[in-house]
Chains A and B, each alone.
Chain A
């Protein structure tokens, strides 16, 4: 692949060059809702997915609770208040209310579309949980029915911007054809997911922070990147990072004695601490036979690794590990500036894990419920916002690609994505760095990560095959730097961000941290919304 900017928007014969009102990057829950929503507003829409819309991302192979609360004022207030303390009081009640309203509507739409929600013994339809494969297969169908053009196996590499700096499309690779795609659009929705650093958390290898990098290159900033050290429990050998059933588990050392304080909720750090020195085992021994049967029906995928290894997780203990889920289960992401999920860059919108979820989760999410609600709500708003913007946008005559790192035409030496990924993982995976955070350890890591960036930006990726992995590696590196820079700046413990040199929550730091920049990174505090009445009373 040639690296000159002018060549990067001129496609080779056989490649795809499309024009649309709205381009959606990412085909998970947020992207599919965004695509539908934009199309329903009358926009022409193209959706690109790195993998396959319907199987790609964290939701499809998994399944998730949903923050589905009937519109009963008392229940709604209780739902909003329930996690505010855990989130460090960084949520915004107005946004929580909006998300509860929107999620209720969207989940009911799923039921209308034929999603097979279960019925309880009273004949009541129960809508607080979604099976990933069913949900995303249905969403793909709805995207198709809305008239959206879907491009599968089309990783996006960089955004296009016009003379005014507005985002006017994107380009990438059609990896199964080994050629290029360009979509010229009046608005772009980034629904590219978070970043889990290819930790083998379920479905997360495609979630490498690509959207963060592309957006930052166009001038967008991020928020809450210190809330990025969620680790999920999984069998040591397997990818299935589904943690609900570990609420019924006992965690033990190799000799069979219990790990003190180890619990799935509120005791995960004890598991991490024990894993620093030895193997930890789990057994789902607190579920009675009836619960065991319910578990099999609730999460069939949880049992796949066990059934295939010949392990009975209710009767036998098995080795466990903690896999980093980064901002997929963390809450940081691109900063939104208004109710339409616009970023600070004209023409650029963000949704789902690509966007900061602090508005509804603050600094902590315990599970999928709020995340799923956020994905479907922010996706819906971003799609509509992008469509409305596209209706009145004046696009400049020239589109130039905004990508930097790995496109360096004067580059010296070949970009080595595999090696870079290993180096980044070595900084972000270890519990002693990312879980048990201290200023000294974070500073050292930032120094090494900055050096990696300085070296990587001198390199070039020379083939089309190569550039996808190079950009993924660069996005993970950029994400790690924003994470640790933000974590250094927050000299207190709040939400999932725990500083072992600043164990207390500091009322003076109840603020959002915005992080921006690529070569030079800046962190700034922005005021958090007013405290909810219950918190003030307490």
Chain B
């Protein structure tokens, strides 16, 4: 579930409020959005992909909320790690189009 909105990184663009398919965030005027309905988070990681400044962290656990420290996940390079892996971050665009699934599935059926 969504665990972190980094107040340090967030630029209050509210894109996450817009793109979250389960409406987990509430916009706050001139401030970082708040995680208003954490239990509705479906752990789909989409908010992270759309965050332009890698301010969000979704923990992989679907059932329990965890106490996750921003310092620790930042240090582990996990803020924005998924966005980088699909080639949506600056400097990583060459990863778009590197889908190698065809090497694993021999035939089209």
Bound-state Cα–Cα, A250 to B71, Å = 36
A interface footprint on B9-38 (CB within 8 Å = 1, 0 otherwise): 000000001111111000000000000000
**Does A304 contact B82, Cβ atoms closer than 8 Å?**
yes
Give chain A residues whose Cβ lies under 8 Å from the Cβ of B61.
237-238
Give chain B residues whose Cβ lies under 8 Å from the Cβ of A134.
86, 96
Give chain A residues whose Cβ lies under 8 Å from the Cβ of B101.
65, 128-129, 244, 298-299
In the complex, B100 has a CB within 8 A of chain A? yes
**Does B46 contact A61, Cβ atoms closer than 8 Å?**
yes
Bound-state Cα–Cα, A75 to B109, Å = 10
In the complex, A412 has a CB within 8 A of chain B? no
Bound-state Cα–Cα, A338 to B9, Å = 53
Give chain A residues whose Cβ lies under 8 Å from the Cβ of B62.
200, 237-239
Bound-state Cα–Cα, A301 to B58, Å = 12
In the complex, A169 has a CB within 8 A of chain B? no
**Does B43 contact A129, Cβ atoms closer than 8 Å?**
no
In the complex, A257 has a CB within 8 A of chain B? no
In the complex, A74 has a CB within 8 A of chain B? no
Q: Give B94 Cβ to nearest chain A Cβ, in Å.
A: 10
Give chain B residues whose Cβ lies under 8 Å from the Cβ of A269.
none
Q: Tell me the dominant secondary structure on chain B's binding face.
A: loop
Q: Output the nearest chain A residue to B15 by Cβ-Cβ distance.
A: A52
Q: How large is the interface on B (under 10, 10 to 19, 20 to 34, 35 or more residues)?
A: 35 or more
Give chain A residues whose Cβ lies under 8 Å from the Cβ of B63.
200, 237
**Does A56 contact B21, Cβ atoms closer than 8 Å?**
yes
**Does B105 contact A200, Cβ atoms closer than 8 Å?**
no
B interface footprint on A117-132 (CB within 8 Å = 1, 0 otherwise): 1111000001011010
In the complex, B6 has a CB within 8 A of chain A? no
**Does B60 contact A52, Cβ atoms closer than 8 Å?**
no
**Does B100 contact A239, Cβ atoms closer than 8 Å?**
no
**Does A116 contact B82, Cβ atoms closer than 8 Å?**
no
Give chain A residues whose Cβ lies under 8 Å from the Cβ of B105.
65, 128-129, 244
Q: Output the nearest chain A residue to B94 by Cβ-Cβ distance.
A: A116
In the complex, A144 has a CB within 8 A of chain B? no
Q: Which of A78, A117, A152, A307 contacts B97 (CB 8 A)?
A: A117
In the complex, chain B residues 54-90 whose Cβ is within 8 Å of any chain A Cβ = 59-63, 78, 81-82, 85-86, 88
Q: Give A433 Cβ to nearest chain B Cβ, in Å.
A: 21
Q: Which of B20, B43, B81 contacts A52 (CB 8 A)?
A: B20
**Does B20 contact A55, Cβ atoms closer than 8 Å?**
yes
In the complex, A336 has a CB within 8 A of chain B? no
Q: Output the nearest chain A residue to B82 by Cβ-Cβ distance.
A: A304
Bound-state Cα–Cα, A52 to B21, Å = 5
Q: Give B6 Cβ to nearest chain A Cβ, in Å.
A: 16
In the complex, A15 has a CB within 8 A of chain B? no
Q: Give B77 Cβ to nearest chain A Cβ, in Å.
A: 9
Most B C-beta atoms less than 10 A away, residue of A55, A61, A78, A120? A55
**Does A239 contact B43, Cβ atoms closer than 8 Å?**
yes
Give chain B residues whose Cβ lies under 8 Å from the Cβ of A176.
17, 23
Q: Which of B23, B81, B97, B104 contacts A298 (CB 8 A)?
A: B104
Task: Decide yes or no: A51 and B22 within 8 Å by CB, A69-B109, A298-B104, A304-B82 being known contacts.
Answer: yes
Which of the candidate stretches A203-211, A349-357, A519-527 sits at the interface with the other chain? Answer: A203-211
Give chain B residues whose Cβ lies under 8 Å from the Cβ of A133.
46, 49, 86, 88
Bound-state Cα–Cα, A175 to B21, Å = 12
Give chain A residues whose Cβ lies under 8 Å from the Cβ of B88.
133
**Does A68 contact B86, Cβ atoms closer than 8 Å?**
no
In the complex, A94 has a CB within 8 A of chain B? no
Q: Give B57 Cβ to nearest chain A Cβ, in Å.
A: 9
Give chain B residues whose Cβ lies under 8 Å from the Cβ of A119.
97
In the complex, A528 has a CB within 8 A of chain B? no
In the complex, B44 has a CB within 8 A of chain A? yes
Give chain A residues whose Cβ lies under 8 Å from the Cβ of B86.
131, 133-134, 300-301
Bound-state Cα–Cα, A300 to B86, Å = 7
In the complex, B108 has a CB within 8 A of chain A? yes
Bound-state Cα–Cα, A69 to B105, Å = 13
Most B C-beta atoms less than 10 A away, residue of A75, A82, A128? A128
Bound-state Cα–Cα, A304 to B59, Å = 9
In the complex, A297 has a CB within 8 A of chain B? yes
Q: Which of B21, B40, B95 contacts A203 (CB 8 A)?
A: B21
Q: Give A240 Cβ to nearest chain B Cβ, in Å.
A: 8
In the complex, A54 has a CB within 8 A of chain B? yes
**Does A308 contact B78, Cβ atoms closer than 8 Å?**
yes
**Does B45 contact A238, Cβ atoms closer than 8 Å?**
no
Bound-state Cα–Cα, A61 to B86, Å = 11
Q: Which of A52, A67, A83, A116 contacts B18 (CB 8 A)?
A: A52
Bound-state Cα–Cα, A52 to B82, Å = 20
In the complex, chain A residues 184-239 whose Cβ is within 8 Å of any chain B Cβ = 200, 202-206, 235, 237-239
B interface footprint on A293-305 (CB within 8 Å = 1, 0 otherwise): 0111111110111
Which 9 pairs between the two chains have the least Cβ-Cβ distance? A51-B21, A116-B97, A305-B60, A129-B101, A61-B44, A205-B42, A300-B85, A239-B43, A55-B46
Interface, chain A (partner B; CB < 8 A): 50-52, 54-57, 60-61, 63, 65, 67-69, 75, 78-79, 82-83, 116-120, 126, 128-129, 131, 133-134, 152-153, 175-176, 200, 202-206, 235, 237-240, 244, 291, 294-301, 303-305, 307-309, 369
Interface, chain B (partner A; CB < 8 A): 17-23, 40, 42-46, 49-50, 59-63, 78, 81-82, 85-86, 88, 95-105, 107-109
What are 26 A-B pairs with beta-carbon distances under 8 A?
Answer: A50-B21, A52-B19, A55-B50, A56-B21, A57-B21, A60-B44, A61-B46, A75-B108, A83-B109, A118-B100, A120-B102, A128-B101, A131-B86, A131-B99, A133-B49, A134-B96, A205-B22, A205-B42, A238-B61, A238-B62, A240-B60, A295-B104, A297-B98, A300-B85, A301-B82, A308-B78
